[in-house]
Structure 1
Amino acid sequence: MQLKGKQKRYLRAQAHDMRPLFQVGKEGLSANWLAQIEDAIEKRELFKVNILQNALVEDEEVIAFIEENTDIQVVQKIGHVLVLFKQANKKDNRSYSLEVAKL
């Protein structure tokens, strides 16, 4: 699902008050971390990831790692915080994607 400008703007507004759910630290990126991200995004559809200052990877590396290995989209990057979105496979877990589809 390729997001349009209005859809991204809606998702950014919804994520504004959220606190980061995951962090990337000195351990860096791993398959286990990515599996946890995929499990969480299936249930929530939208959340934030914080890249800590002591992380051994750059922000762009994290974005590339997520987008290359999953269907998750990075909606926004502000400083060291990423906003991630993916439509849930289960219809029961869809909340944001229903609103995004209307836009």
Structure 2
Amino acid sequence: MTAISLTAAQTRFLRGQAHGLKAMLQVGGKGVTPAVVAEIGQALEDHELIKVKVAADDREARAGLIDAIVDGTGAALVQRIGHTAVLYRPSREKRQIILPRP
């Protein structure tokens, strides 16, 4: 899947929307499996904007896991803070978040 590209204004808007969200899913020691990608994909379809917690001690390992999630789900990486990544992908069925124009 190809990732969505966002403008700076859209990214700022989504960061604001994500501020109050709690991490919905956690990627553990087994890494990014097809089941994890499917679960995150379903969460994105249902909610469009989610936080995912990535349990990896090393910064580069975390970045690799987050990149694998983004590639696997076709989502846009809105923000990455420590162990938490904010992902956005518009729903195919029921769009809830209306982005500012580019």
Which structure 2 segments of 5+ residues have no match?
none
Partner of 1:36: 39
Specify which structure has the higher proportion of helix.
Answer: 1
Which structure 1 segments of 5+ residues have no match?
none
Structure-2 change in CA distance of 1:53 and 1:71 (3 Å)? closer
* Cα offsets for 1:59-98 (capped at 9, x unmatched): 11112212222311111000110000001111xx2111x2
How far apart in 2 are the matches of 1:51 and 1:20? 10
Please say if residues 55 and 62 of structure 2, whose CA atoms lie closer than 8 Å, have aligned partners that are also in contact.
Answer: no
Give every structure 1 segment of 4 or more consecutive aligned residues whose post-TM-superposition deviation is greater than 6 Å.
none
Secondary structure in structure 2 of the residue aligned to 1:88: coil
Q: What CA RMSD, in Å, does the superposition of the two structures yield over aligned residues?
A: 1.9
Please say if residues 54 and 66 of structure 2, whose CA atoms lie closer than 8 Å, have aligned partners that are also in contact.
Answer: no
TM-score normalized by the length of structure 1: 0.84
Structure 2 counterpart of 1:85, which letter?
A: Y
**Mapping of residues 1-103 of structure 1, within 5 Å:** 1-53=4-56, 58-90=61-93, 93-96=94-97, 98=98, 100-102=99-101
- Number of equivalenced pairs: 98
Q: In the TM superposition, what is the alpha-carbon distance from 1:26 to its structure 2 partner?
A: 1.6
TM-score normalized by the length of structure 2: 0.85
Please say if residues 24 and 51 of structure 2, whose CA atoms lie closer than 8 Å, have aligned partners that are also in contact.
Answer: yes
Structure-2 change in CA distance of 1:68 and 1:22 (3 Å)? same
Q: In the TM superposition, what is the alpha-carbon distance from 1:53 to its structure 2 partner?
A: 4.9
Secondary structure in structure 1 of the residue aligned to 2:23: coil
How far apart in 2 are the matches of 1:2 and 1:51? 22
